[in-house]
A = this chain, B = another copy of it.
Amino acid sequence: MKIEVVENVLKYNKDQADKNRNLFKNNNILVLNLLSSPGAGKTSLIIETIKRLKGKKDIGVIEGDISSTYDAEKIKKFTDNVVQINTGGTCHLNATMVAQAASKLKVENLDLILIENVGNLICPVGFDLGEDYKIVISSVNEGDDKPVKYPPVFIKSNLILLNKMDLIKISDFDQSFFDKKIGELNPRSEVIKLSCKTGIGLEKWVKWVLDCCRNKNDM
């Protein structure tokens, strides 16, 4: 009984995700689904991305939280194209929530949508939102063992961002261990090391985003 219900939920989600994907494709919008633990730096990365792409790309932001509009308010200082989803306790976004949020963005004007998923390294991985790419943000202070302890999100992501590199010298983070484990789990995905605080790696990240926008337009 339980499995059947879960399957129905995932099937329903997949159907809605496909509709989202069509909507985004018809409007030439690149959509990135940002996944991480709480406090790994998703919101800061979104703000830095908006700042650096100002005048180049029109960006919409979908903010997912179990409650509050705290992050959307932060982002509203940099763009009006932001919609907050409150999941009401649910531990991940789903495709229906994203469809509703997208209906409040002027999608015909956008080049890029950044979705900040609920801070959770486990549950959001299984829910397709219709995005082009999943991106996991791991932060130095969470420790070098996150790929070992939470493999699915590292396996399923198309890009791995290692944030808060400014803290690496005062931490016991073993970079070669982290890289080795990522290499075992997901050898095809690039790792970009960055710090939203110092700006390290942000140029590389922005280039990655722009390359993806270009590839999407060529499709």
User: Which listed segment binds B: A25-33, A45-53, A118-126, A127-135?
Assistant: A118-126
**A141 to chain B: which residues have CB within 8 Å?**
39, 139, 141, 164, 167
How many copies of the polypeptide does the oligomer hold?
2
Given contacts A68-B148, A142-B39, contact A123 B123 (CB under 8 A): yes
Nearest neighbor of A126 in chain B, beta-carbon distance: B89
Q: Which of A102-160 contact B (CB under 8 A)?
A: 118-123, 139, 141-143, 145-146, 148-152
How far is B41's CA from A156's CA once the two chains are assembled, in angstroms? 25
Whether A55 is near chain B, meaning CB under 8 Å from some CB there, is no
Asked whether A119 and B121 contact (CB < 8 A) given A38-B149, A70-B149, the answer is: yes
Residues of B within 8 A of A152 (CB): 66, 89
> Does any Cβ of B come within 8 Å of A212's Cβ?
no
> Distance (Å) between the CB of A168 and the closest chain B CB?
12
Q: Do B122 and A121 touch across chains, with their CB atoms under 8 A apart?
A: no
Q: Does chain B have a CB within 8 A of A2?
A: yes
Give chain B residues whose Cβ lies under 8 Å from the Cβ of A219: none
Residues in chain B near residue A151, CB distance under 8 A: 66-67
Contact A38 B121 (CB under 8 A): yes
A43 to chain B, nearest CB (A): 9
